[in-house]
């Protein structure tokens, strides 16, 4: 965990809601009440965010904050380390690439203050290509994902709609099967893939939300939900702080209770970032076995003993419903 700390511009100090002093520690945070929270960037550096800061006008696209600026980076087993740029509407960009419509399509979407090269993307990409021959598209939406958190939140639906429109164009123009499409999104990216799924009329075979972002997403109609794809799952690792704790998917997994602190973590931001790590490990090993929970309380206390359902992995035909608890280790492969 890097110890560098970045303070975004803050509004005047408020004695009733003091600025937290320990970088990355969100133990002070009360959902829907607290003004300040630490959120990690794509390299796990914690940034102090003022949730009351006014958002910039995303609709005006003053600084390119629009889903039209999404970049789609294609990786395959023929180019596992150097991406090929696919451009929506540009036939040559796809025709000259290694895109293969007969292979599964996996799409990875990062979270706030991150970019296409942030560590979760190569980690998950490498895991996928190690176990299957596939098209992997990393979505770089850094123009909208950077800056004020509130501005990024408001830009999520537009980013998701543009991603959905790109997928419709890609499969319509170059072939592919909706039953072979899997969208994977972390934090704000989980809500991006939800909006993309809606744009595709729920045809996406599978959507995986990795600790879907919590702040400013309560009762938000743009949040990921179980209707966004044929099978939607979420892996909750920092519920009630940086992630949503309530079930929002067909299947909701709560490793180690689904909350801070995850094994091996000493701050909340680590627990939030654990979700992509667990998913990458699950793709390579498929060793996480959830047990169905009778209630959210059972999930919170990791006391579930019902039917088994595997967490994560790359299975495009995966199906299931309910709440699931499980225990993991503190180090890779967890």
Task: Give catalytic status of residue 93 as yes or no.
Answer: no
Half-sphere exposure of 49 (CA within 13 A, CB side): 31
> Is 241 within 8 Å of 278 (Cβ atoms)?
no
How far apart are alpha carbons 88 and 167 in whole angstroms? 9
Are 296 and 53 in contact by the 8 Å Cβ rule? The answer is no
**Under 8 Å between Cβ of 269 and 286:** no
Q: In what order do the strands lie in the sheet with 71-76?
A: 79-86, 71-76, 135-140, 105-109, 181-186, 206-210, 231-235, 251-255, 322-326, 289-292, 308-310
pLDDT at residue 6, rounded to an integer: 47
Residue 271 has a pLDDT of 97
User: Peptide bond preceding 229: is omega within 30 degrees of 0, i.e. cis?
Assistant: no
Q: Give catalytic status of residue 272 as yes or no.
A: yes
Q: How far apart are CA 234 and CA 251, in angstroms?
A: 7
The phi-psi region of residue 211 (left if phi > 0; otherwise alpha if psi is between -120 and 50; otherwise beta) is left
Token digits of residue 154: 């408001």
CA–CA separation, 299 vs 212, rounded Å?
Answer: 17
Helix, strand, or coil (residue 286): coil
Position 57 scores a pLDDT of: 62
Q: From the candidates 50, 140, 158, 211, which is the catalytic residue?
A: 211
pLDDT digits (tens, 9 = 90+) for 79-114: 999 999 999 999 999 999 999 999 999 999 999 999
> Averaged over 42-69, what is the pLDDT?
80
- Position 55 scores a pLDDT of 83
pLDDT digits (tens, 9 = 90+) for 4-13: 444 444 443 4
Q: 289 burial class (0-12, 13-18, 19+ CB within 10 angstroms)?
A: exposed
Q: Region 152-162: what's the mean pLDDT? A: 97
**Every domain of the chain and the residues it spans:** 70-326
CATH domain 70-326 topology: Rossmann fold (3.40.50)
Predicted confidence (pLDDT) per residue in 223-243, tens digit: 999 999 999 999 999 999 999
Q: What pLDDT is recorded for position 63?
A: 55
For the four alpha carbons of 86, 89, 91 and 92, in that order, the dihedral sign comes to negative
Report the mean per-residue pLDDT for the chain.
Answer: 93
* Crossing angle for the helix pair 149-174 and 188-199, to the nearest 10 degrees: 40
* Percentage of the chain modeled with pLDDT above 70: 93
With a cut of 70, say whether residue 132 has pLDDT above it: yes
Q: What is the 3-state secondary structure (H, E, C) of 13-41?
A: CCCCCCCCCCCCCCCCCCCCCCCEEEEEC
Residue 25 is among the residues annotated as catalytic for this protein: no
Q: Distance between the two ends of the chain, CA-based, in angstroms? A: 17
Residue 95 near residue 26, CB atoms below 8 Å? no
d(CA 322, CA 34): 30
Residue-wise over 142-155: b if at least 16 C-beta within 10 A, else e?
bbbbbbbbbbbbbb
Distance of CA 123 to the CA centre of its chain: 14
Chain centroid offset of residue 131 CA: 21
Residue of 97, 114, 142, 187 marked active site: 187
Task: State the catalytic residue, choosing from 110, 162, 272, 309.
Answer: 272
Residue 273 has a pLDDT of 97
Could you give the CA distance from residue 125 to residue 105 in angstroms, rounded to a whole number?
12
Q: Say whether pLDDT at 61 is over 60.
A: no
Residue showing tokens 């300040």 = 36
């Amino acid at each position: 965990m890097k110890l560098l700390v970045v303070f975004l511009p803050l509004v005047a100090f408020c004695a009733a809601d003091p600025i937290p002093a320990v970088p990355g520690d969100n133990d002070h945070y009360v959902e829907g009440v607290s003004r300040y929270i630490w959120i990690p960037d794509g390299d796990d550096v914690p940034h102090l965010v003022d949730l009351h800061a006014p958002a910039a006008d995303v609709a005006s696209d003053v600084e390119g904050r629009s889903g039209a600026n999404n970049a789609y980076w294609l990786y395959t087993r023929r180019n596992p380390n150097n991406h090929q740029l696919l451009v929506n509407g540009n036939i040559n960009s796809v025709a000259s690439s290694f895109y293969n419509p007969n292979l599964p399509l996996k799409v990875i979407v990062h979270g706030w203050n991150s970019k296409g090269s942030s560590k979760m993307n190569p980690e998950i990409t490498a895991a996928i290509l190690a176990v299957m021959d596939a098209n992997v598209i990393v979505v770089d939406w850094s123009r909208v994902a950077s800056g004020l958190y509130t501005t990024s939140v408001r830009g999520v639906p537009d980013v998701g709609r543009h991603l959905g429109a790109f997928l419709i164009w890609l499969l319509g123009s170059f072939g592919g099967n909706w039953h072979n499409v899997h969208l994977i999104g972390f934090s704000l990216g989980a809500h991006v893939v939800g909006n993309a799924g809606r744009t595709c009329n729920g045809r996406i075979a599978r959507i995986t939300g990795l600790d879907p972002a919590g702040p400013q997403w309560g009762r938000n109609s743009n949040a990921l939900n179980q209707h966004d794809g044929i099978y939607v799952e979420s892996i909750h690792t920092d519920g009630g702080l940086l992630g949503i704790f309530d079930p929002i998917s067909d299947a909701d997994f709560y490793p180690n209770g689904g909350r801070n602190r995850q094994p091996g973590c000493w701050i909340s931001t680590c627990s939030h970032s654990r979700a992509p790590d667990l998913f990458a490990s699950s793709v390579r090993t498929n060793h996480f076995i959830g047990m169905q929970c009778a209630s959210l309380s059972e999930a919170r206390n990791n006391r579930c003993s019902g039917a088994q359902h595997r967490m994560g992995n790359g299975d495009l035909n995966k199906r299931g419903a309910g709440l699931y608890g499980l225990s993991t280790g503190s180090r890779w492969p967890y």
